């Protein structure tokens, strides 16, 4: 799998949810992203992530619903004395918050194939040559993450055996401080190891330039097409924003807007088999 093809698709999805506040397009992009992730990553590996994103979506919607007291269709009202949540709770805020949550979830999910479907080196290879050194540092940092997580767990367990109990944020210092100090020491050790392997000695080359398969080409072409149509629709005013206030109105849906989102479903079909 080619990292650049995946990155192009992720970028097209991001643009799809960022270019317009229209919830219809956001739902379409979220559906494309969800289908692609389920096809490429599978339910078992993605279910925790999806559950987390579902929670984030609900939290974003609820926060907007609770704090944004605009709109004419009042569902109920809390006393004004209640901090932040006091005032009218409106249907418009609820719908707007949900739309915002969908955009957030789609944007976050669009980036997951980069971490769940690609090896670290594939992501690094997707970067342009001038960023290759930065990419290597990024890859090394990502490689440290599992050992930092393991170290945190081991320290928490060992401190618990010394009688530590989590009681309030301050008590976590006994775990967080040694974990951070250990992570810093590990990072210095890794930097030392990279230096000892000629890192930074001059221009770099790549072990194997990333290969392009027909499927990668199709994904990149679909992403390019989607990007072009999205920009064209926006320029022509056919990707109109949607404003739910003061009263809820249905979003305007145009054929060009829908056509711009549809190519984003291509990976859902191409990534069905194991990658």
Partner 1 sequence: MALASLECLSYWYPLGQAPALTGVDLAIEPGLTLVAGPSGGGKSTLLRVLNGLVPHFHGGRIAGAAAICGLDLVRTPTRRLARHVGFVFQDPERQSVYGLVEREVAFGLENSAVSPAAMPDRVDRALARAGALHLRGRRLATLSGGERQRVAVAAALVLEPEILVLDEPTSQLDPAGTELVAGACRRLAEAGSAVVVAEHRLQPLLSSAARLLLVDEGRVGTGVARLVGLRRPARDRPTLPAWQLRGIAVGPGPEPVLDAVDVAGGAGEVVVLMGPNGGGKTTLLRCLAGLLRPLAGRVERGPGRVAYLPQDPAALLHRPTVREEVELTLRRAGEGEGAGAVLAQLGLAEFAERYPRDLSSGQRQRAALAAVLAGSPAIALLDEPTRGMDGAARRALVGLVEALRGRGTAVVIATHDAELAAEIGDRVLAVEGGRVVEAELAPPPGAVTVEPMLAQVPA
Residues at the site binding partner 1, with contacts judged by CB under 8 A: 119-121, 132, 136, 139-140, 143-144, 146-147, 151, 154-155, 157-164, 173-174, 177-179, 181-182, 186, 189-209
Considering the complex, what minimum distance in angstroms separates the CB of residue 208 from partner 1? 6
Of the pair 195, 241, the CB lying nearest partner 1 is at 195
SS3 content of the chain, % helix, strand, coil (to 5): 70, 5, 25
DSSP 19: S
Of the pair 161, 214, the CB lying nearest partner 1 is at 161
Of the pair 83, 146, the CB lying nearest partner 1 is at 146
Single out the residue of 102, 109, 90 nearest to residue 57, CA to CA. Answer: 102
Single out the residue of 47, 26, 11 nearest to residue 98, CA to CA. Answer: 26
DSSP 212: -
Cβ neighbours of residue 21 closer than 8 Å, sequence gap 6 or more: 99, 103, 241, 242, 243
Rg of the Cα trace of the chain? 23
Single out the residue of 84, 138, 80, 87 nearest to residue 114, CA to CA. Answer: 138
Considering the complex, what minimum distance in angstroms separates the CB of residue 9 from partner 1? 22
Of the pair 80, 158, the CB lying nearest partner 1 is at 158
Considering the complex, what minimum distance in angstroms separates the CB of residue 191 from partner 1? 8
Of the pair 115, 252, the CB lying nearest partner 1 is at 115
Considering the complex, what minimum distance in angstroms separates the CB of residue 249 from partner 1? 50
Considering the complex, what minimum distance in angstroms separates the CB of residue 220 from partner 1? 22
Of the pair 147, 213, the CB lying nearest partner 1 is at 147
Considering the complex, what minimum distance in angstroms separates the CB of residue 118 from partner 1? 10
Q: Residue 224 belongs to what H/E stretch? A: helix 214-235
226 burial class (0-12, 13-18, 19+ CB within 10 angstroms)?
A: buried
């Amino acid at each position: 799998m080619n990292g650049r093809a995946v990155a192009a698709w992720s970028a097209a999805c991001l643009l799809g949810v960022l270019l317009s506040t229209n919830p219809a397009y956001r739902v379409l992009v979220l559906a494309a992203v969800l289908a692609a992730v389920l096809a490429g990553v599978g339910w078992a590996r993605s279910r925790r992530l999806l559950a987390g994103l579902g929670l984030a979506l609900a939290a974003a919607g609820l926060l907007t619903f609770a704090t944004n007291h605009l709109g004419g269709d009042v569902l109920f009202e809390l006393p004004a004395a209640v901090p932040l949540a006091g005032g009218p709770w409106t249907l418009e805020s609820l719908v707007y918050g949900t739309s915002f949550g969908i955009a957030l979830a789609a944007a976050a999910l669009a980036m997951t194939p980069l971490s769940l479907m690609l090896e670290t080196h594939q992501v690094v290879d997707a970067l342009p040559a001038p960023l290759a050194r930065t990419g290597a540092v990024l890859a090394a940092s990502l490689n440290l993450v599992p050992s930092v997580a393991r170290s945190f767990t081991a320290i928490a367990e060992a401190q618990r055996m010394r009688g530590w109990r989590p009681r309030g944020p301050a008590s976590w210092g006994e775990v967080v401080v040694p974990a951070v100090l250990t992570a810093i020491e590990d990072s210095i050790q890794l930097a030392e190891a990279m230096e000892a392997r000629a890192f930074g000695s001059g221009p770099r080359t790549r072990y194997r330039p990333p290969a392009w398969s027909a499927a990668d080409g199709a994904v990149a072409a679909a992403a390019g097409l989607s990007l072009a149509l999205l920009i064209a629709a926006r320029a022509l005013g056919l990707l109109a924003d949607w404003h739910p206030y003061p009263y809820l109105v249905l979003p305007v849906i145009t054929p060009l807007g829908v056509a711009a989102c549809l190519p984003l479903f291509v990976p859902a079909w191409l990534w069905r088999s194991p990658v």
